[in-house]
Amino acid sequence: MKRLVLAVMFVLTAFLLTSPVLSAQTLVLSLTDPLGDDRGLGTYTYPKADVFKPGVFDITKFEIYLTEDKVIFKVFVKDLGGNPWNGPNGFSMQYIQIYVHTTLKNVFMRMDTIGLNVVIRSDYGWHFALLLAPGWGEVPVPKGERAALYYANGTVIAQNDILKVYAVPEENAVVAEVSKAALPDVDNIAMWKVLVFLTSYDGFGPMKVRPVGVEAEEWVVGGGRELAKAILAGIEPRVMDLLAPTAEEQYEWLSGFDVERKLLAMVPGID
């Protein structure tokens, strides 16, 4: 009996020594998004190609986790839709952009977005952004197709050991793991303000974003006739869904452009 106990202890010790150490994850933020609001400003329809399954552009939840050495951002959608074009990061159709306003004061921040044709309200201006793309090649988006970490000062880090991006198909989720050392103000992470956008990835589209037309086509998002003037003015929002308390607020925010003055819609973040 004594020998059996010793043998079991030996096996357990060997297992623990050879198994990877799992970092404990602390949930910092969890926000849900309304189902069925993947309609841009309320009028958008999916492109007509069969690959665009219902729900592939519908955010359902957003979470931030903290580990000993990483900050983990997790975006859930209704249906990832598989990986029809074999994106290296495990997804093909989604293009997720996360903009973060930290608690830092008197530091440079930006109000623009990268290819979405909307601007961010000044009290939510971003200090860093995560552009989560399918991941082909080595050049970061929007020039290339690799996911990237953008700082407001223009510094860019293409997906590497500092930034890891991957899909979790069984959860219909896209995950970005970022080294804590690469991010500012992590000690105050609970007070960050975030904006999360989901659009349709298009390797041939402007800034890698699928264009919006009046009518949906095989590879074009339909915006509706009421969007015709905005499209002509070049100010149509190129967003399918964003993190918002209600669908109505999302539609209101994205409808806030001004055709006469050619002003883009302005979007606030989530505290």
In the chain, domain spans: 23-267
C-beta separation of 111 from 104 below 8 A: no
C-beta separation of 97 from 77 below 8 A: no
Give the HSE-up count for residue 111: Cα atoms under 13 Å, Cβ half-sphere. Answer: 11
C-beta separation of 197 from 242 below 8 A: yes
Q: Give the contacts of 176 (CB within 8 A, at least 6 positions apart).
A: 72, 73, 74, 98, 130, 132, 147, 163, 164, 165
How high is the pLDDT of residue 23? 66
**Strand partners of residue 119:** 266
Tokens of 99: 């903009």
How high is the pLDDT of residue 212? 99
**Domain 23-267, CATH:** 2.60.40.1190
Q: How many CB atoms lie within 10 A of CB 5?
A: 9
How high is the pLDDT of residue 183? 99
| Strand residue runs (E) in 102-254 | 118-120, 128-132, 148-151, 156-158, 163-168, 173-179, 193-200, 212-213, 221-222, 241-242
Tokens of 142: 């929007």
| Strand residue runs (E) in 133-260 | 148-151, 156-158, 163-168, 173-179, 193-200, 212-213, 221-222, 241-242
**pTM of the complete model:** 0.91
Q: Whole-angstrom Cα distance, residue 194 to residue 38?
A: 19
Tens-level pLDDT at each residue, the chain (271 residues)? 444 444 434 444 444 443 344 469 999 999 999 999 999 999 999 999 999 999 999 999 999 999 999 999 999 999 999 999 999 999 999 999 999 999 999 999 999 999 999 999 999 999 999 999 999 999 999 999 999 999 999 999 999 999 999 999 999 999 999 999 999 999 999 999 999 999 999 999 999 999 999 999 999 999 999 999 999 999 999 999 999 999 999 999 999 999 999 999 999 998 8
Give the HSE-up count for residue 164: Cα atoms under 13 Å, Cβ half-sphere. Answer: 10
Q: How many CB atoms lie within 10 A of CB 176?
A: 23
